[in-house]
Amino acid sequence: MHLRPFRPDDLQTLYEIDQACFVPVISYTREELTGFIGHRHSQTWVAEENAEIAGFLIAHREPRKILHIVTIDVLKAWRRGGVGSLLMEAAEQWARDHDMRMIGLEVAHDNLSAQKFYAARGYRKVNEIEHYYADGSTAWAMVKELP
């Protein structure tokens, strides 16, 4: 498994992965993904094995030296095999290399496996956000402070 930067011809595959990973009220539209990926303060990593994309992560650099994880998507067949950790390590290292002080993300209130994954990486819950998703469901804001 290796990581590489996003290429424009990845967009359709990344869109399909996002649709497979999240229900319609949580997944992004093609236009939203295009906007996130193309933003001048964003970085996108693609995890690939034998020319097959297994997952991706989009992060956005925000003011006050905060990196926001917009989304991390790993196809079901590749989960629990280290792909998510590889993507998170890349984003976290990029944040350290760019003198970020904190990384933040949101995770669905009922997505306990993702919460456990982030907690094991040093993220902590800081705020419950009601009606975060389009269907009205709640999310947890989680953060990791960087040394």
In order of start, what are the domains of the chain with their CATH numbers? Answer: 2-107 (3.40.630.30)
The amino acid occupying position 115 is Q
Among 102-106, 116-120, 130-134, 139-143, where is mean pLDDT lowest?
130-134
Q: Per the structure block, which two tokens stand in for 116?
A: 């456990």
**pLDDT value of residue 25:** 82
**pLDDT value of residue 86:** 97
Q: Per the structure block, which two tokens stand in for 36?
A: 């996130």
Distance (Å, whole) CA 38 – CA 19: 19
Under a CB-based contact definition with an 8 Å cutoff, are residues 18 and 71 in contact?
A: yes
- Mean pLDDT, range 11-16, rounded to an integer: 97
Q: If DSSP codes are grouped into helix, strand and coil, which group holds residue 137?
A: coil
- Mean pLDDT, range 101-121, rounded to an integer: 96
**pLDDT value of residue 48:** 97
Distance (Å, whole) CA 100 – CA 41: 13
Which band of pLDDT confidence, cut at 50, 70 and 90, is reported for residue 24?
confident
